[in-house]
Structure 1
Amino acid sequence: MKNSFSQYHGIKPSDIDFFDIPLDSDVEVFICPFLIENTKMKIPFSRKVYDRLVGFLTELNKNYVRPNKRNLGISFLSHLHEPNEIHFGYSSSNKGKAVAKEKATMIFDALRRNRFAKKGLHTTNQAHNVLLLVQGIGQDIMSDIILNVCRDIFAEFTFYVIEKQGIKNTKKFECEYYDYNTKKWKRDYFNLPVYKGKKIILVPRKIVSGKRAYSERYNWFVSSNYISVRILNKPKISRKEQRLFKKLKNGTKIIIIKRVYEAYKKPKKDIIDFVINYPGSLDEFVQYAKENYPEIDLSDL
């Protein structure tokens, strides 16, 4: 990686417990709520971020989305700005162009259209479920939400790196974050690394992922573990379902998961149907993700 944070500050690869960012551009990675969920019992940082996000989403859904207080909800969300300081996302020149009010409107309307959020169910009070189930909120937007809401927590982690590595090129920056105790946005000053006059905030490597289409993976999980099992257990298989099988040379018929997936997969906006029709599948998928979708492999970059 050209001109990375570690290279600039002379940090040895063996000492890096943060995601090493390029300083002059962005890298296509994201803060992943599934990885936060998966590590919250082992890593205090993840627990702190998880609890803050639950508090934020509970406040948003309960007091703005469910009662459809649109203008107030958009105002509440308008503090979500493009977090250029972490150098994550799709922008190749680190010039985030998202307008806060436009993003706030999009997020509010996306949640308002979601059946779970509109009914006030607790499911959408967890960030990983919002990423999985809410049409219009993808990895980039969720990553931005997490950083904005928990900016103070990430700033404290960055300060830990500063102290550990003896980094001297720092400056006091004003940062905004969500204060769960007051349920308001708050500003404080934090000592952070500076590069070309701009602040840098670092993210623990354990909660960073590459591009992942979690809705497609949940579709596959349900196809493999629920729909195919249901078909196999039916006393009579329909002609349509027969096409999901393959006949082996010895005459045995096996069901092909890829065919099941192609036949039954749902777009993100309708994936809630699987959550309702297959109770327990969402929790099982979260556990499956924990075991099968680790943090990003740096060799892939």
Structure 2
Amino acid sequence: MRFSQFFKLNRTQAFLDFVDIPLNTDIEVFLDPNAIKSLDSAWGNDLSSFLQSFFESVLKLIKNGDDKKAKKLLASLNEGNEFHLGYSSGKSRGHGFGNESADSVWDALTKSKAAKSGLLQDLEDTALLINGIGTDMISDAVCNILRRSLIKYTQDICNYYGIPLTPNIDSGPLWNPQTECWENQLVSLPMTKFGKVILVPKVLVRHRLSFQYDEYYRYYLIPEMQQEHLDKQSSLVETLKNGTQRVTKKALMDKYGKDKLAIVEQTILKPYILDEYREAKIESPSSPLSHEQFSDLENVEMPDLSSLLADLQSLATGRDTAEKYEEIVEKILTVLFYPSLCNPTKQHKIHGGRKRIDITYSNEAKGGFFYWLSMHYPCPQVFIECKNYGKEVANPEVDQLSGRFSPSRGQVGILICRSIENKKLLLKRCIDTAKDQRGYIIALDDSDILTLINDFIENNNSQDFPLLRKYWMQLVN
């Protein structure tokens, strides 16, 4: 049974912001530190700083030889069963650092030349340079280090989807960057017959970590080693019949080895190669799992947007159905705009609760329309207002949405209504708002939603959204 089924959400993975975990086992996805670092939002920066502060504390203890405190820090990375990410095929059991042995992990870290030489900088470096540490262990460690933030995310998500929270639940160890210690609290969490659950944003998970030691060795270290041997004309150089010289990867691996110890030895000699690898991963972060990948992984059908569109078009206008209209629109947009827009907030309160925004998304786009938008206009968040009117949308509705903008929150919104009788007039109102430096508003109606869905399907879930780009250019030109 999945989380969504237990709480009767009537939604599959594509319509959810979080990983829809199975409650009695694990799903084979992992939290990737590099995916977290690629986030440009304040939320992403907070997550990255938590990870960095923990590992810096560990490295400081290695340098000072403080075994007792270090083992205590590592032992608290013993992953609980509440995240349900990983390789477990039966009951969730985790593979965190603490599950192995704080002693053995500490020994591996302290005795490693990678630590002594200063090569280790981040948690994911251990996947490249420390024997016995792999994808599942690092993912579980990340879950634990970010437990505080993920609990807050879980609470927000439960409020968003109307999922009941049980108070006074033991949080498990929470990392405190200020005191560099673990602490526990009583918190509110969703409870099932399988125990407490902490949810993870699906935009952060991957099939595997970005940092892979075999990839680093084969495609970064070995080419440099090959060139060195060619330059020195070593005994490993072979001359082919046509006169071309080469040094094979097999010959290098036979001579130097192909395990993490060999990688460390060569990286100590060429630390700039590791810097190049890190930079490459930062510049080209891996993509979040697609709808198709989640569908295959969870054995669920792809989202049925045509059914939602039919529900939208058959819905009566008016105040009585306004909440249903907002729900349908949110479901459609959550599918269409993933992974560009995520972490939704419904009825988001601003100005001390005096103003509300129907739906607010965080903009984490790494390509497509919303990424292009973020490069040219302030839009860390994108605001959605839904108007289930049977009348023409006019200045008050435009002014209402523009009043939600700010330099820090963002100045881009989408006004969605059932029909627009005079599109030229509404566009003129939006242009006036932009010219007055009160923000940028794209207005859409039911027919535009149909076009967005058709473009999305025809362009294989592309995030380019030609209709939005067309309307944007009309707005700013």
Structures share fold, TM-score greater than 0.5:
yes
The correspondence of residues 13-24 of structure 1 with structure 2, limited to 5 A, is 13-24=13-24
* Greater Rg over alpha carbons, structure: 2
Whether the 8 Å contact between 2:237 and 2:246 is mirrored in structure 1 is no
Calculate the aligned-residue CA RMSD, in Å: 3.1
Instruction: Name 2:10's counterpart in structure 1.
Output: 10
Distance 2:13 2:26 in 1: 20
Alpha-carbon distance change, 11 to 196 in structure 1, aligned in 2, over 3 angstroms: same
2:34·2:281 contact (CA, 8 Å) conserved in 1?
yes
Which residue identity is paired with 2:89? Answer: S
- Report the counterpart of residue 268 of structure 1 in structure 2: 260
Conservation of the 8 A alpha-carbon contact between 2:34 and 2:285: no
Q: Is the 8 A contact 2:163 2:190 kept in 1?
A: yes
Gaps of at least 5 residues in structure 1 are: none
Equivalent position amino acid for 2:267 in 1: V
User: Aligned equivalents of 2:287 and 2:116: distance in 1?
Assistant: 32
Aligned AA for 2:169? F
Q: Please name the residue that 1:294 is paired with.
A: 287
Does residue 178 of the first structure (1) align with residue 171 of the second (2)?
Answer: no
Percent identical: 27
- Partner Cα separation in structure 2 for residue 132 and residue 282 of structure 1: 10
Superposition deviation, residue 19 in structure 1:
2.2
The structure showing larger relative contact order (alpha-carbon pairs under 8 Å, at least 6 residues apart) is 1
- The residue that corresponds to 1:242 in the other structure is 238
- Post-superposition CA distance 1:2-54 (Å, at most 9, x none): x32234432354432322211221123222223223x14x2433322221122
Q: CA deviation at 1:141?
A: 1.8
Aligned 1:26-41 pairs, distance under 5 A: 26-37=26-37, 39-40=38-39
Q: Which residue of 2 aligns with 1:280?
A: 272
Runs of 4+ in 1 over 6 A off after TM superposition: none
Please give the alpha-carbon distance, in whole angstroms, between the structure 1 residues aligned to 2:269 and 2:95: 37
Distance of 2:109 and 2:285 partners within structure 1: 28
**Counterparts of 1:135 and 1:279, CA distance in 2:** 19
* TM superposition score normalised by structure 1: 0.81
Determine whether 1:103 maps to 2:96: no
> Alpha carbons of 1:228 and 1:206: their partners in 2 closer, same or farther (altered >3 Å)?
farther
- 1:198 is displaced (CA, Å) by 1.1
Q: Map 1:27-176 onto structure 2 (within 5 A).
A: 27-37=27-37, 39-40=38-39, 42-63=40-61, 65-96=62-93, 100=98, 103-118=101-116, 121=118, 123-168=119-164, 170-175=166-171, 176=173
> How many Å separate the matches in 1 of 2:43 and 2:85?
19
SS at match of 1:136: coil
Stretch moving more, 196-205 or 288-297: 288-297
Q: Deviations over 1:120-147 (max 9, x none)?
A: x3x4241111222122222222222222
How far the C-alpha of 1:57 sits from its partner, in A, is 1.6
Aligned length: 287
